[in-house]
Amino acid sequence: MMTMNADTDRRLYRDADRAVLGGVCAGLAGYMGFNLRVTRILAFIAFCMAMPIAVIGYIAAVFLVPSASSRDYDVATEKQARKRRKSRKKKDTVEATTSQAAADINRRCRSLDQRLMRLEKLVTSSRFQLDQELSKL
């Protein structure tokens, strides 16, 4: 009956597409993740139990809560999708830069290993020892 959406920047809007008397119940159901029929039944019960307060609250919500239709939602969804794509692109750029840096470090380490191998080969050779002996004379 209740499904919570993972979006953290959700806003309460009156749903103009599913509206009967202003769209407050439809907007509240969409915002809270409730079934629309259950929300309308609860609103009807509130009207029966506390008529003046419920009517004043409903009218206040009609005037204070902004209206949105599915077209507005599609535009907002597209803006959010663009924002997500932009952040993914930025993340990919950071990952690419990181992988380039790792490749550069790897290349430098291989170069140092090769130089060290040549140096070890020279130092451990008999020619190096002979050159050392000759330089002492």
**Could you tell me the residue ranges of all domains in the chain?**
1-68
Q: Read off the amino acid at residue 28.
A: L
Question: Rounded distance, CA 47 to CA 86, Å?
Answer: 46
pLDDT value for 1: 46
Question: Rounded distance, CA 85 to CA 67, Å?
Answer: 27
Question: Rounded distance, CA 96 to CA 90, Å?
Answer: 10
Q: Which two tokens stand for residue 61?
A: 């919500």
pLDDT value for 17: 76
pTM (two decimals): 0.44
CA 130 to mean position of chain CA atoms: 67
Cβ neighbours of residue 25 closer than 8 Å, sequence gap 6 or more: 36, 39, 40, 43
What tens digit of pLDDT does each residue of 45-68 get?
988 998 888 888 888 888 888 777
